[in-house]
Amino acid sequence: MSALPQGDRWVVLKFGGTSVSRRHRWDTIGKLAKKRADESGGRILVVVSALSGVTNELLAISEGASDSAQRVAALVGRHRDFCIELGLDPERVLGERLALLEGLLEDPRAPARSLDWQAEVLAQGELLSSTLGAAYLAGPRGLDFGWMDARDWLLSAPAGENQSAWSRRLSVNCQWQAQGDFKARFDAQPQRMLITQGFIAAHAEGGTAILGRGGSDTSAAYFGALLLASRVEIWTDVPGMFSANPKEVPDARLLTRLDYYEAQEIATTGAKVLHPRAIKPCRDAGVPMAILDTERPHMPGTWIDGSAAPVPGVKAISRRNGIVLVSMEGIGMWQQVGFLADVFALFKKHGLSVDLIGSAETNVTVSLDPSENLVSTDVLNALSADLAQICKVKVIVPCAAITLVGRGMRSLLHKLSDVWATFGKERVHMISQSSNDLNLTFVIDEAAADGLLPILHEELIDSGALPVASSDVFGVRWREITGDIRPRPTPWWKSQREKLLALAWEGTPRYVYHLPTVRERARALAAISAIDRRYYAIKANPHPAILRTLVEEGFGLECVSLGEIRHVLASVPGLSPQQVLFTPSFAPRSEYTEALALGVTVTVDNVELLQRWPDIFRGRQLWLRIDLGRGDGHHAKVTTGGKDSKFGLPTARVEEFMQLAQALEVRIVGLHAHLGSGVGNREHWRLMYDEMAGFARRIGSVRTIDIGGGLPIPYSADDEPFDLEDWAEGLAELKRVHPQFELVIEPGRYLAAEGGVLLASVTQVVEKEGIRRVGLDAGMHTLLRPALYDAWHDIDNLSRQGGYADAEFDVVGPICESSDIFGRGRRLPASTAADDVIVISDAGAYGYSMASHYNLRGLPAQDILDDAG
Ligand code: ADP
Ligand code: ASP
Ligand code: MG
């Protein structure tokens, strides 16, 4: 990079289609250009796209659409209207250009649609928008702006030997090594700020050349490289490159900093926000790039340059549609010298470039990018015919390629088990890992890819493969930007520091439960009118104070063992057995007999139970748990439906069960199935409820439908609080359709988790080969969820509350198990030291209740706080 004096440097600003289609955006363009000029003391080149949608129209015209005349007329009308919106005289500003556009239909080249004519047609969009913009910025806005024809400055580069005629004219590359006095001529332009077109260049053989769809980014990059600009800013409709297309994955994270190579990979594998050809010119010339949002100009955006410190991990997941797979089958092709050469020669002959390759003993499968010359199916037919001479060919279309991009993919494989499992449910045609270790691609049917990205993105975050905690790279979520997010409530313990420290002083590890928080959650559920009855699943936390609190709030208690039943009857004075549900799984006979004798409501979930112990159940009223065959949970180990789950009677056996029940005069009065939360997937959830109601009606005696618990809580800052309102609306809908059934829920976690924290003391802080570990006196014996489910719990240093969390630690326990880890790479104050009190959040559910004596370390203490303060 040359060391040009700052005042001599250019800043290149590129504005995409949506950024130039409205008047207020042109005001922003003017302001930004002026601001950049003032800040840098240098000069500004603005590169613009056509107004949004215009290139699509021009493309249709260039391809000879039958209604081309109407399309031209509409384009003329749209540009005239926009002139008026900008307060400009359409005739004076655009008269000539619009006449030229109309004239192209009468051009002698038009009937044959020669490629140079097509280029001319396509170029009109950018020529119009830049002309409009220059007139507005220099006119009403009074800025020192001049207009330039990009074709006087950018020249197509010599085409590669195998490039098709089409791409030689309509998808060209340009030269970006400045020749002669390029910059001096540029500098000699009288205005301080210039505006020109993206997407177009001069063709070396005369006429106009086109840079390919989305090519305005590339134009800006060429200018940036040719001028050795201080930077190239790509202004668009999102504030940067994200970890996935934000329009498809609302939880996608802004990537604040990338190196050229990762950005290149993300762009190449499908992130439309930056044209893949735009990076190399800037990289070669050492010109940094930024991606910014015209509507949100204050946001920092994505910064791409050569100095970003590499952060290992997945940075993005992208998707490309329209992938063509060509599978070539041949006997004994393995080790047959020259087979691949023969095959690839044919791809070359047809001007097709191969992207991914998979090979086996008798099969080679390759993918072709959805390049524009593939649009013509003739190419594929011709290729297939040629290939058929040497092997058996199968073309698989349409496919989608889903790619994980990031440094060190190979070393991340162990974190990708959920991702593999998700792909395992689809038909994966091909898996390919790039030799630069920057990507891992799965090719599946295009239809199967719909809706998959949000799931994969979440799995990548949950597994730690996409290290969102690395604030050097990852910024805000798209949803936060659009305001489509509800923040997590401030945890109660933040205002209880002194009390908690005093309790910790009495001994750690120690659970502390805050009853006001439990009450708050209980009341939120009680306010949902569609729910007729509520039970608390006490396995989450059977502390007597919590049980009493929830019974006072009108909850019944759901137990899964006789031990739990006895415990609730002993802990809650005056509790009637009618308030107790018993939902065991594979329990021994004695538990059923005793539960029935106590008069609690018993749920059964298999036929074999009735067959084996008919006398226990004869003449009883029972609830039946069915398995609707679909399960969902935050981890495979807590999935509660489907073939692999031990819970529930499969729907196929309901008939058989009912026959036996009738013979035993058993009345099934309640039906239970876990529906999960239903938020964001209401349709699927409603179908499940309809199915339950269908069974309930067939059984005849069912009065109650229990949809289980399963309401999530926001364990990490990445999780959004459960949308109770949306859920309540969904329930009201279920209730409207099936009003005859009493609706019952039985949450556990939702009520208890956020009300509890685990306090622990730091035993030792140890550094080993660059990893710093904070050791606690609590471990997996105290709180098992992280070790068992890889669950996330926020971890804070209570002793240094308010201190800046400026260092990363692995937080571990004292158990002799390598899985005894509460969290890796957690940010805590660097000063964290022995005897500090650590608070582990959201430990009120499945904390103490899953604690063990393992290593004979003893059980933790428990305390109750019951004040609002
Ligand atoms: P422009 O017209 O400004 O050139 P584009 O439509 O070409 O804008 O590119 C911006 C769009 O790119 C965004 O609206 C977004 O939907 C899409 N996109 C796809 N993948 C990504 C990603 N990973 N990060 C950001 N945007 C992406
Ligand atoms: N207008 C062109 C297109 O729509 C170029 C661009 O916007 O980048 O493809
Ligand atoms: Mg674009």
Neighbours of ion ligand 3 (CB under 5 A): 16, 214
Query: 667 with 795, same domain?
Result: no
Asked if residue 287 belongs to a domain, the reply is no
Which of 257-271, 533-547, 635-649, 710-724 has the weakest average pLDDT? 635-649
Q: What is the pLDDT of residue 377?
A: 59
Tokens of 632: 């969902």
The answer to whether 29 touches 19, Cβ cutoff 8 Å, is yes
Residue-wise pLDDT for 783-795, tens only, equals 999 999 889 999 9
Query: 734 with 780, same domain?
Result: no
Q: In the predicted model, what is the mean pLDDT of residues 155-183?
A: 89
Query: 439 with 536, same domain?
Result: no
The answer to whether 635 touches 789, Cβ cutoff 8 Å, is yes
Ligand 2, atom 6, residue with closest C-alpha: 214
For residue 548, which of 864, 248, 763 has the smallest C-alpha distance?
864
235 lines ligand 2 (CB under 6 A): no
* CA distances, 500 to each of 492, 507, 514, 781, 795 (Å): 11, 11, 11, 21, 15
Domain residue limits at 187: 10-236
For 279, how many CA atoms within 13 A lie in the half-sphere containing its CB?
A: 22
Asked if residue 519 belongs to a domain, the reply is yes
Residue type, 74: A
Query: 734 with 807, same domain?
Result: no
Ligand 1, atom 4, residue with closest C-alpha: 16
CA 618 to ligand 2 centroid distance, Å: 74
Active-site position among 282, 399, 559, 816: 816
The answer to whether 544 touches 562, Cβ cutoff 8 Å, is no
Query: 126 with 227, same domain?
Result: yes
Q: What is the pLDDT of residue 379?
A: 82
Ligand 2, atom 2, residue with closest C-alpha: 214
The answer to whether 707 touches 675, Cβ cutoff 8 Å, is yes
Specify whether 816 is catalytic.
yes
pLDDT over 70, % of the chain: 96
Distance separating alpha carbons of residues 229 and 231, to the nearest angstrom:
5
pLDDT at 116 over 90: yes
- The domain that contains 840 carries what CATH number? 2.40.37.10
pLDDT at 371 over 70: no
Judge if pTM exceeds 0.85: no
Which of 176, 203, 236 is the C-terminal boundary of a domain? 236
The answer to whether 83 touches 137, Cβ cutoff 8 Å, is no
277 lines ligand 2 (CB under 6 A): no
* CA distances, 571 to each of 368, 523, 538, 690 (Å): 67, 22, 12, 38
Distance separating alpha carbons of residues 218 and 275, to the nearest angstrom:
7
Number of independent structural domains in the chain: 4
Q: How confident is the model at residue 375 (pLDDT cuts 50, 70, 90)?
A: low
Residue type, 148: M
Task: Tell me the pLDDT of the chain averaged across its residues.
Answer: 92
Higher per-residue confidence, 98 vs 468: 98
- What sign has the CA pseudo-torsion 404, 455, 449, 241? negative
Ligand that comes closest to the CA of residue 405: 1
Tokens of 269: 């594998």
Burial class (CB in 10 A: 0-12, 13-18, 19+), 495: exposed
Residue type, 263: A
Asked if residue 405 belongs to a domain, the reply is yes
Q: What is the 3-state secondary structure (H, E, C) of 575-640?
A: CCHHHEEECCCCCCHHHHHHHHHHCCEEEECCHHHHHHCHHHHCCCEEEEEEECCCCCCCCHHHCC
Q: What is the pLDDT of residue 635?
A: 47
Ligand 1, atom 9, residue with closest C-alpha: 273
CA 467 to ligand 3 centroid distance, Å: 27
Q: What is the pLDDT of residue 633?
A: 47
17 lines ligand 2 (CB under 6 A): yes
Query: 735 with 785, same domain?
Result: no
Ligand that comes closest to the CA of residue 15: 1
For residue 361, which of 381, 337, 331 has the smallest C-alpha distance?
331
Q: How confident is the model at residue 480 (pLDDT cuts 50, 70, 90)?
A: confident
Query: 168 with 106, same domain?
Result: yes
Q: How confident is the model at residue 374 (pLDDT cuts 50, 70, 90)?
A: low
Ligand 1 pocket list (CB less than 6 A): 16-19, 49, 214, 236-238, 241-242, 244-247, 271-273, 316
pLDDT at 642 over 90: no
CA 53 to ligand 2 centroid distance, Å: 9
Which of 211, 236, 261 is the C-terminal boundary of a domain? 236
Q: What is the pLDDT of residue 854?
A: 97
Which of 49-58, 335-344, 382-391, 453-462 has the weakest average pLDDT? 335-344
pLDDT at 451 over 90: no
- What sign has the CA pseudo-torsion 548, 549, 555, 560? negative
Asked if residue 277 belongs to a domain, the reply is no
Q: How confident is the model at residue 631 (pLDDT cuts 50, 70, 90)?
A: low
Asked if residue 493 belongs to a domain, the reply is no
Query: 582 with 691, same domain?
Result: yes
Ligand that comes closest to the CA of residue 17: 1
Which of 746, 777, 812 is the C-terminal boundary of a domain? 746
Distance separating alpha carbons of residues 648 and 657, to the nearest angstrom:
12
Q: How confident is the model at residue 869 (pLDDT cuts 50, 70, 90)?
A: very low
pLDDT at 376 over 60: no
* CA distances, 95 to each of 55, 88, 128, 365 (Å): 20, 12, 10, 54
Asked if residue 253 belongs to a domain, the reply is no
Query: 710 with 781, same domain?
Result: no
Count of helix runs (H) and strand runs (E) in the chain: 28, 35
Asked if residue 283 belongs to a domain, the reply is no
For residue 804, which of 840, 776, 839, 828 has the smallest C-alpha distance?
828
144 by DSSP, 3-state: which? coil
For residue 321, which of 251, 400, 376 has the smallest C-alpha distance?
400
Tokens of 457: 């993105």
Q: How confident is the model at residue 800 (pLDDT cuts 50, 70, 90)?
A: very high
CA 15 to ligand 3 centroid distance, Å: 9
Nearest ligand 2 atom to the CA of 17 is: 7
Tokens of 804: 């800046």
Query: 708 with 783, same domain?
Result: no
pLDDT at 107 over 70: yes
- The alpha-carbon radius of gyration of the chain (Å, integer) is 33
CA 461 to ligand 3 centroid distance, Å: 27
CA 216 to ligand 3 centroid distance, Å: 7
Nearest ligand 2 atom to the CA of 275 is: 8
Q: What is the pLDDT of residue 719?
A: 80
pLDDT at 639 over 90: no
The answer to whether 852 touches 843, Cβ cutoff 8 Å, is no
Asked if residue 180 belongs to a domain, the reply is yes
Residue-wise pLDDT for 695-749, tens only, equals 999 999 999 999 999 899 999 887 888 999 999 999 999 999 999 999 999 999 9
Distance separating alpha carbons of residues 242 and 475, to the nearest angstrom:
9
pLDDT over 90, % of the chain: 77
Query: 630 with 720, same domain?
Result: yes
Query: 55 with 39, same domain?
Result: yes
- The domain that contains 168 carries what CATH number? 3.40.1160.10
